[in-house]
Structure 1
Amino acid sequence: MSVVTNLNTSADRQTEQTLREDLAAAFRLAVEFGWHEGVGNHFSAAVSEDGTKFLMNPKWRHFSEVTASNLLLLDANDAGVMDGPDAPDPSAWCIHGTVHRVNPAAKVLFHVHPPNATALATLKDPSMKPIDLNTARYFGKVAIDLGFGGMADEAEEGRRIAETLGTKPVLIMGNHGVSVAAETVAEAFDYLYYFERAAGTLLGAYATGQPLAVMSDNLAAKTAAEWEPYKGMAEAHFDFLKRQLDKNQPDYRE
């Protein structure tokens, strides 16, 4: 298995260390918000410009035990990754290895089964209906994969997931869960945070049995566009949450 132990310059090493700390923080926060599932699911972040060298959690390591130093550094182009002693599990490599190899724009990729998003993914129509500010934020930004074929551990499954995600930040994986892609860990966390809340709002509205007040496409598109100037909220929110971790779980940076 090819593992990159360091990068070329001190600036690059600092960038990798910062990325490691942010990714480790995201794992700890996923536990705080109840998005984790046993020792499964995976977050990854590219350290190379082409996206092929990326960090990911070790096989079957509980999110609450992830630290900056125990993240794996993998090469998506290395066919021998799964033969190594620290190989990730097959589904992790299938999804994250493929996405990072074929989609360099997806610098950060979170794949989880949080309660609301996963429940939404089980519906015959799992689309995110624009019924409020948070749900409308995702108008035109969600891809849907209804080609579920069981555990995502085959190359063809990985390619289909990567191709379906494309340039969208969110992929609803029918009968499975959700994946979120972004340029930074903070942005990916923000997309996941608000998507899980939006899914909860939509499911709650469905549960009333009353007709949904779905926005028109024009209004939904306008509302989604109005979120763009608030992009900096992601960094501010994530920085706040890291400050809480620094008080209560500072070992995530180790």
Structure 2
Amino acid sequence: MQAQLDSMPSLRGSVSDAEWQLRVDLAAAYRLIAHYGWDDIIFTHLSVRVPGPEHHFLINPFGALFEEITASSLVKIDLHGEKVGDSPFPVNPAGFTIHGAIHQAREDAQCVMHTHTVEGVAVSAHSEGLLPISQQSLFPLSGLAYHDYEGIAVREDEKARLVADLGSANYMILRNHGLLTCAPTVADAFLAMYILQRSCEIQVAALAGDRPLTPVPQPILDKICGEGDRVTSSQGGLLAWPGLLRKLDRLDPSYRD
């Protein structure tokens, strides 16, 4: 795998400008997931839809660490998780089961991110789910869905139930499993994941204190749930995304290769 990654020629110029930009953004998201310590070795996936009528998607080469992924190494696949075109890298069709179901059902879910962080799995096991005990938690709670655990997510029949549970929400907690966000852009999906992950971290830390918790009153919760656009000046993830790319460029710009 390392030799293949090192010898991978750049696809810039071989794909459309729109696809190349998506490749750079998705590779950046993989690197950021690794940077923040949210990766799970080679497991879990981030995916984004490529423009066009074919319903093709970009996903990680299976076996590569998130910190190794580059724009050119991302693999193009179809809705069945099968490779499209020439790529030396393997993919994990089973890993695309969740992503494929959401991409197919939600036209607005251009990017889907799924993680198995310690804090995310811990909160997914809490019977009450995500609690309204921090300012961060209020934004996911404005549109948070839950999906009960049914075992390893590889069965076709689970797709319909997963999609029905997600509905129109952009945040989901997969019970006993992890976290999921979806959005029209990589930047929006990443910011949503950052906020959801941070909410879980705060909840786990607060519960570890073994002291009574103070929930946010419902009227305040209702008010803040509608103020997300004001917090980001109506720019969503694009407000933070350029700064995150600058961080990556300082750390290791090879994600752009």
Q: Which TM class, normalised by the smaller chain length?
A: 0.7 to 0.9
| Cα separation, 2, equivalents of 1:187 and 1:51 | 23
In 2, are the aligned partners of 1:21 and 1:253 still within 8 Å (CA)? yes
In the TM superposition, residue 80 of structure 1 has moved relative to its aligned partner by 5.7
Distance 1:81 1:14, change over 3 A: closer
Kindly indicate whether residue 157 of structure 2 is the aligned counterpart of residue 156 of structure 1: yes
Identify the residue that residue 7 of structure 2 maps to in structure 1: none
The unaligned stretches of length 5 or more in structure 2 are 1-12
Give the match's secondary structure for 1:225.
coil
Residue 145 of structure 1: aligned partner: 147
Percent identity of equivalent pairs: 29
SS at match of 1:137: helix
Q: 1:15-94 to 2 correspondence within 5 Å?
A: 15-48=18-51, 52-76=55-79, 88-94=91-97
SS in 1 for 2:46: strand
**1: CA distance, partners of 2:56 / 2:106:** 12
SS at match of 2:27: helix
Please provide the CA RMSD for this pair.
2.3
Is the 8 Å Cα contact of residues 51 and 107 (structure 1) preserved in structure 2?
no
Say whether 1:251 aligns with 2:224. Answer: no
- Summarize the Cα distance change of 1:49–1:216 in structure 2 as closer, same or farther, 3 Å threshold: farther
For the structure 1 residues 61 and 247, does the alpha-carbon distance in structure 2 shift closer, same or farther, using more than 3 Å as the test? same
| 1:189 Cα deviation from its structure 2 partner | 0.8
**Aligned-pair CA distance for 1:102:** 1.9
Q: Which runs of 5+ in 1 are unaligned?
A: 1-9
The total of aligned residue pairs comes to 240
Q: In the superposition, relative to structure 1, how do residues 144 and 250 fare at CA in structure 2: closer, same or farther (>3 Å)?
A: same
Between the aligned partners of 1:81 and 1:252, the Cα distance in structure 2 is 21
Alignment of 1:194-233 (within 5 A): 194-231=195-232, 232=235
The aligned residue for residue 191 of structure 1 is: 192
Distance 2:193 2:201 in 1: 12
CA contact (8 A) 1:109 1:182 kept: yes
**What is the TM-score normalised by the length of structure 2?**
0.85
Q: When the two structures are superposed, what TM-score results if normalisation uses the length of structure 1?
A: 0.86
Note if contact 1:108-1:185 (Cα within 8 Å) is conserved in structure 2: yes
1:3 aligned residue: none
Q: CA deviation at 1:63?
A: 0.5
Q: Is the 8 A contact 1:105 1:167 kept in 2?
A: no
Q: Deviations over 1:23-69 (max 9, x none)?
A: 00000111110000011110001123668221111122210111101
Instruction: Return the match for 2:101 from 84, 98, 102.
Output: 98
Q: CA deviation at 1:115?
A: 2.1
More divergent stretch after superposition (154-163 vs 236-245): 154-163
Counterpart in the other structure of 1:136? 138
Runs of at least 4 residues off by over 6 Å: none
The amino acid across from 1:171 in the alignment is M
1:238 positional shift:
1.9
**CA–CA separation in structure 2 for the residues paired with 1:71 and 1:237:** 23
